[in-house]
Each structure stands twice: as C-alpha cells, then as structure tokens.
Structure 1
Amino acid sequence: MTTSTTNTKSTAVIWGIAAIVTAIFVCTVNNSHLVLRASFMMKVFAILAGAALGTVFAVIGDAFRRYAHPDVVITNGGFFSLIGTKLFWQVGPQLIGLFSGVFLGVALVLK
C-alpha cells in the first residue's frame, strides 16, 4: 500500500469522525421545528445521513485543497493575516464541505 493511499484513508477516517460528532451536535442542540417534531429514529437516520454526506463533502474539500493550494502566499496584513491565510488553506475547504454536507444530510432526512 502506498503512502498516499494510507494518507487518504486516514484523512477520510478523521473527517468521518468529525462528521459524526458534528451531526450528533446538530441533531441534539438544534431547537428548530424540524428537529423537535422528529422521532428518535428519524434523528438517528438524520445523524447517519449527515455523517455520510459530511464525510464525502469533507473529502471532496480536501481534494479541492490539494488541487488549489497555492505554493506561495503573499499578504500585506502582517503576521496574523499570514497565519489566517495558512490556517484557511490547511482546514478551510474541508470544514466548509463538512458543515455543508452535515447540514444538507440532516435537512434532507428531517424535511
């Protein structure tokens, strides 16, 4: 097994765990009408769908990050602007994919 395959699998596992935690958080803390009127089993299906879509979207975000990551970052905002830009390119696209996938999966099931 090559290193890139192992790295991709471990990345998917990490984002899968993050998606499960986020989906559970979204279904337990959310006080919207859709979540409050849903039965326990519907919430379980919503968590499963949110975790699945969140994982897929986070992996897609990681693939986008690997493709579009700039080699050089030039800022004029100083040190903290540089830190913010580097931090975004480390986890930004994955987090955007994670949250949009989890919210989409939960909303589709509880609709």
Structure 2
Amino acid sequence: MEKHPSYPALAEVLPKYPQAAGALFQTYNDLKLAQQWSDLEVLDLPSCSRGALRGKRPQMDDTLYVIPCSLPEAISTGWLYEAFKELGSPPHVYLAINAEDSSIVYYKISPGIVKPPV
C-alpha cells in the first residue's frame, strides 16, 4: 500500500486506524480515480476511529462527505451521530461499505427521519 501513488494523501490517517485502513484506501481510490471527484481531502474522525473523505463530484458545487467502512463492521446510531457531529453537521453523509471483493456500495445517510422524495 505504501508504494501506491495515492498513499501520500492517506499517510497521516492510515497508520492511526489500521482496522479501517483498507476501506479508506479503497474508497479514496474509487472516488479519486474511478469517479473523478475533485478537491478530495482526507479527514480524521477520532470519535469513530477512522478517516473520512470530503470532496466534490464532477460538475457539482456541493461538498460531500464519505465515511468508509467494511461490510462486517457493526454500525450504531451513536457512531453515526458522532460522525455527523465531527463533520460539522452536514445535511447528509455517504457511508461507503467495502466488501472483500473490492466492491463498494454507497448509502446516503441523513440525520433524523427524512421523508423520501416522491
């Protein structure tokens, strides 16, 4: 992992949270290389023991937040509450769930109860 070109951008956070390093590395590379997000930054979320990502989708002005995790991890509402708080209470975050086969599913998570659009 240390020899990958994206490692310098992740080097500050990856060693701090080895249990979440694989999901962060995979998600960062997906957003940066495959989805071509711009202004991609790595954030430290100590309360959740992991790194998160902030950036913009192509041709969009909104800043989005992504929290990587692995499929077998247990996620609680308290954990999500702390993540929202540390990220500055954005309207929503994307939970990037990484599977062992390197596939990633992104779930849009909003605080509280949100009525789906009709």
Larger RCO (CA within 8 A; separation ≥ 6): 1
In terms of fraction of residues, the more helix-rich structure is 1
Greater C-alpha Rg = 1
Same fold by TM-score, threshold 0.5 exceeded?
no
Structure showing the higher strand proportion among its residues: 2
Normalised-by-shorter TM-score class: 0.3 to 0.5
TM-score, scaled to structure 2: 0.31
Alignment TM-score, normalising by the size of structure 1: 0.33
